[in-house]
Amino acid sequence: MKIAFIGDIVGRPGRDMLKNYLPKLKEEENIDFVIANYENASHGFGLTTKNCNELFSYGVDVMTGGNHSWDKKDVVALFDSHEILRPYNYPQEVAGKGCRIYDVAGERLAVLNLMGHYGMPYCDNAFRAAKEQVAVLHAEGVENIFIDFHAEATSEKRAMLMLLEGAVSGIIGTHTHVSSDDFQIVNGTAYLTDIGLTGCRDNVIGMDKKVPLQQFLTGMKGHFDIPKKCKKILQIAIMQIDKGKCLDAYKLKIFDDERVIKTEAWVES
């Protein structure tokens, strides 16, 4: 199977990039299944019903979340009506699910959403939760497992690879909105510390620079806004998976001026 992952979609600019490029990408790259992170999709914080339906209409198959999953009240109902995940390591009493299994190209694919600890809301131990859930999936005969690990600390993300290399098909980080340059395949596991945002690229993590600069210069906080006009980027990781192992992976950076930069994942021998 060939799956794709899109990181933090930030507001209308990010949604517009999916509208303009995802349907064509699915056809040109022969993508069977698309996973995308929704937690900044509506005005930069959370997900509304309208924007949820919009993103699915562009060809997304399932969406993952993070610390902003709960920012819009719509999301609780969306957990029941749409293929929407929230971090698995929130307490099990919380609405929604953090892992689901899908039939893709004649095989089963599990999508697991996890959230880190540094700078994040209180939740259960991500590493214990991941280890236990992966063991459950293997016991059920599910070989193909993809993880969106929504975390601030690069050390947490790297440690998750060390814990699960060879046991899952892919681990890709989200949350920082800044892409890292370490896409690799380790023992059959595709790994990228952070895929980076999809949205505005000429500002501060997809938001207008005014308030972030005010905060850094004076310590005074304000409401982050998404620019009405900006230069945009779509960042997408594409992975070829067979029998639980990633055989090939690459990332595309697609700019709104039609430039495309392709980065091949290196195979760690």
Positions annotated as catalytic residues are 68
Instruction: Specify whether the CB–CB gap between 128 and 22 falls below 8 A.
Output: no
Angle at 46 between CA 111 and CA 40, to 5 degrees: 80
Q: What is the CB neighbour count within 10 angstroms for residue 156?
A: 20
Q: Which residues contact 258 (CB under 8 A, 6 or more apart)?
A: none
The CA distance from 256 to 231, in Å, is 7
Return the bridge partners of 262, or none.
252
Question: 196-219 in b/e burial notation, b at 16+ Cβ within 10 A?
Answer: bbbbbbebbbbbbeebbeeeeeee
Instruction: Specify whether the CB–CB gap between 67 and 178 falls below 8 A.
Output: no
The torsion defined by the Cα of 104, 109, 113 and 114, in degrees rounded to 10, comes to -160
The CA distance from 64 to 101, in Å, is 13
Amino acid symbol at 25: L
CA atoms within 13 Å, Cβ hemisphere of 157: 25
